[in-house]
């Protein structure tokens, strides 16, 4: 009995020490926080950014979009690959971005406007979804949903961009909740982001790493977005990263835009392959 008690206490001590170490290196904001370019007057952590004077994001009625889970830039060739696929791109929706000094230097040198959700920080480096755009958004707002098992937030950005035809484009960049028992938290996150779309009459892009690794999860996406009139982009070639059951994890849905072409090239620069899409107004 004494031996069992000793083993139990040792195991409990290890668990407590692991939790304390976990909490010591992580900083999780109490509210959703959005960080934007340091050159913008509104600095620091905000929930929403506003710029009524934003210029159109498209060029001559064309809009090229990159969607990519960049795997915290863990692979050495992330930089050159990102530059390759973001060439001539007007809008880059990235997930699992680690805001290292190297990544900040890339964003600044490329003259991007960046909107980043501070989902959590480890060792002082913030991680979350990031939207890069050649022009400032009219509006950008942060959203987070806590993973029920690992307690780390997954994040999303709701943005509104001006178009040259005087319409406004709503863009949702999301990294969906992954580790759940059941679909309640997943449904809650997608519901919150799609609910914001019901107030918008006009073009929409809803995209990201949606973690659709089950039929139940994909059904939530399909039902909610189709009710809003959104269409799923089909890719050729289609090298989107798949779960073990063959279900794709990354998607782009759109409304009131003309799809010109869409491809998902293969790369070893991340554990996800990018999505590259061209739209026309």
The per-residue DSSP string of 148-201 comes to TTT-PEEEEEEEEEE-TTS-EEEEEEEE---S-SSSHHHHHHHHHHHHHHTT--
Angle, CA 132 vertex, CA 80 and CA 196 arms, to 5°: 140
Residue among 175, 176, 139 nearest 158 (CA): 139
Considering only CA atoms, give the Rg of the chain: 20
Asked if 215 and 186 count as a contact pair (C-beta separation under 8 A), the reply is no
Instruction: Say which range, 32-41, 103-112, 150-159, 161-170, has the weakest mean pLDDT.
Output: 32-41
- Give per-residue pLDDT as tens, 58-69: 999 999 999 999
Amino acid 140: pLDDT:
95
* Residue 1's pLDDT band (cuts 50, 70, 90): low
- Give per-residue pLDDT as tens, 89-145: 999 999 999 999 899 888 888 889 999 988 766 777 878 899 999 999 999 999 877
DSSP annotation of 73: G
- Give per-residue pLDDT as tens, 238-275: 999 999 999 999 999 999 999 999 999 999 999 999 99
Asked if 25 and 123 count as a contact pair (C-beta separation under 8 A), the reply is yes
Region 178-205: mean pLDDT is: 83
End-to-end CA distance of the chain: 74
Amino acid 157: pLDDT:
95
d(CA 118, CA 127): 6
Q: Which residue has the tokens 């990519």?
A: 68
> Per the structure block, which two tokens stand in for 259?
């799809």
For the cut 70, the answer to whether the pLDDT of residue 219 exceeds it is yes
Amino acid 9: pLDDT:
53
Amino acid 39: pLDDT:
42
**What residues does 35 pair with on adjacent strands?**
116
- Average pLDDT for the chain: 86
Tell me the C-alpha to C-alpha distance, in Å, between residue 27 and each of 49, 94, 151, 153, 177. Answer: 22, 21, 12, 11, 19
| Domains defined for the chain, CATH in brackets | 28-280 (3.60.10.10)
Instruction: Say which range, 69-73, 102-106, 159-163, 232-236, has the weakest mean pLDDT.
Output: 102-106
Tell me the C-alpha to C-alpha distance, in Å, between residue 22 and each of 15, 27, 97, 117, 122. Answer: 10, 10, 20, 21, 9
- Give per-residue pLDDT as tens, 15-30: 544 544 555 566 666 6
Neighbours of 110 (CB within 10 A): 14
Asked if 249 and 202 count as a contact pair (C-beta separation under 8 A), the reply is no
Amino acid 19: pLDDT:
47
Amino acid 40: pLDDT:
39
Amino acid 11: pLDDT:
55
Which pTM does this prediction carry?
Answer: 0.87
Q: Indicate the helix (H) or strand (E) that contains 116.
A: strand 113-117
């Amino acid at each position: 009995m004494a031996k069992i008690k000793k083993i139990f206490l040792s195991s409990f001590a290890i668990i407590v020490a692991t939790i304390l170490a976990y909490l010591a290196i992580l900083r999780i904001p109490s509210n959703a926080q959005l960080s934007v370019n340091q050159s913008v007057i509104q600095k620091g952590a905000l929930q929403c950014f506003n710029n009524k004077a934003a210029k159109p994001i498209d060029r001559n009625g064309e809009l090229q979009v990159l969607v990519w889970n960049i795997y915290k830039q863990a692979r050495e060739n992330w930089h050159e690959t990102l530059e390759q696929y973001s060439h001539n791109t007007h809008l880059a929706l990235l997930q699992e971005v680690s805001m290292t000094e190297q990544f900040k230097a890339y964003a600044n040198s490329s003259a991007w406007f960046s909107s980043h959700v501070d989902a959590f920080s480890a060792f002082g480096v913030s991680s979350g979804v990031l939207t890069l755009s050649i022009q400032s958004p009219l509006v950008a707002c942060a959203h987070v949903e806590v993973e029920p098992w690992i307690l780390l937030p997954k994040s999303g950005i709701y943005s509104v961009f001006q178009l040259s035809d005087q319409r406004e484009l709503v863009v949702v960049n999301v990294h969906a909740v992954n580790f759940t028992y059941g679909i309640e938290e997943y449904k809650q996150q997608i519901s919150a982001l799609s609910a914001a779309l019901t107030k918008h009459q006009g073009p929409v892009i809803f995209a990201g790493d949606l973690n659709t690794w089950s039929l139940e999860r994909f059904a939530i996406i399909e039902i909610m977005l189709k009710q809003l009139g959104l269409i799923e982009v089909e890719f050729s070639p289609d090298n989107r990263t798949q779960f073990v059951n063959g279900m794709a994890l990354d998607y782009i849905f759109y409304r009131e835009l003309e799809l010109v072409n869409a491809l998902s090239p293969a790369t070893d620069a991340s554990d996800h392959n990018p999505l590259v899409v061209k739209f026309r107004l």
